[in-house]
Structure 1
């Protein structure tokens, strides 16, 4: 059977692609997904950046615990930065603005002014740390 030009044109007419409404639906779905995903990603990236601040207090925690276990500090008033094996104050480094220790309380601040505070329950083992600061309300720590 011979195909005519009319038959070929009729067959191609059924394969025209997507309609405008289908494309609009796809764009709307992508917009909704982006509206949900972007805030979640922002929170994730903020928490990842703040983890540098949480990590910066580790040497101070360890030094405090070692000093308490070895008897170098017998009261929280003895636990200040730069004394009894506890490191001195840390300056700005990456996301960390500062880290300090006063009476055993470790305070770290990030470049945005968000604080992470660790308070020990005393100087006798096992030492438990109570986290507080503006990072708790912000959901970063």
Structure 2
């Protein structure tokens, strides 16, 4: 008798179908993970600017004229996932690249002169709902107030 070796066409098609189903389930989760990692990179890029703006506001008593390359605030730059950080009167704006294309994050400082306190508010903007939700969850600042 001659023994058959290898797999039948049906067995191979079943394996391919299983791989396709697992990929369909895993790919969105992986994309979500990549977005969260990229947003964390954006958050890390923003932190030195935030700290410098806080120091500028405490020294000057206001966030007016707390701009890039003044009062110890670093020069505007980008990263792998952020096109550029822009600073204007203490307001930080980040624009996403690659995985974060279409995402814009703005951080607004609110200086309370009586308390000598600086509060931060965020505004995430994106047409992509998943990207917007990830931004809202990663940037743990209060949402922008209308009176600011």
Q: Common fold, TM-score beyond 0.5?
A: yes
Q: CA separation in 1, counterparts of 2:80 and 2:7? A: 50
Q: CA separation in 1, counterparts of 2:85 and 2:60? A: 20
- For 2:26, the equivalent position in structure 1 comes to 37
| Consecutive unaligned residues in structure 2, runs of 5 or more | 136-148
Q: Is residue 104–residue 120 contact of structure 1 (8 Å, CA) maintained in 2? A: yes
- For 1:91, the equivalent position in structure 2 comes to 77
Point out the more displaced range, 54-63 or 120-129. Answer: 120-129
SS at 2:60's partner residue? coil
Q: Hey, which bits of structure 1, 4+ residues long, moved more than 6 A?
A: 16-20
What is the correspondence of 1:1-141 to structure 2 with a 5 Å cutoff?
Answer: 24-69=13-58, 72-88=59-75, 90-111=76-97, 112-123=101-112, 124-134=115-125, 137=129, 138=131, 139-141=133-135
**Larger fraction in strand:** 2
Deviations 1:49-97 (A, max 9, x none): 232221111111101112233xx22223232222222223x23332221
- State TM-score, norm by structure 2: 0.65
Q: How far is 1:22 from its partner? A: 6.2
| Consecutive unaligned residues in structure 1, runs of 5 or more | 1-8
Q: Is residue 80–residue 102 contact of structure 1 (8 Å, CA) maintained in 2? A: yes
Q: Is residue 57–residue 63 contact of structure 2 (8 Å, CA) maintained in 1? A: no
Measured on the aligned residues, the alpha-carbon RMSD in Å equals 3.0
Deviations 1:5-47 (A, max 9, x none): xxxx7xxx9xx99877666555433322210111111121122
Larger Rg belongs to: 1
- State TM-score, norm by structure 1: 0.68
Q: CA separation in 2, counterparts of 1:91 and 1:113? A: 18
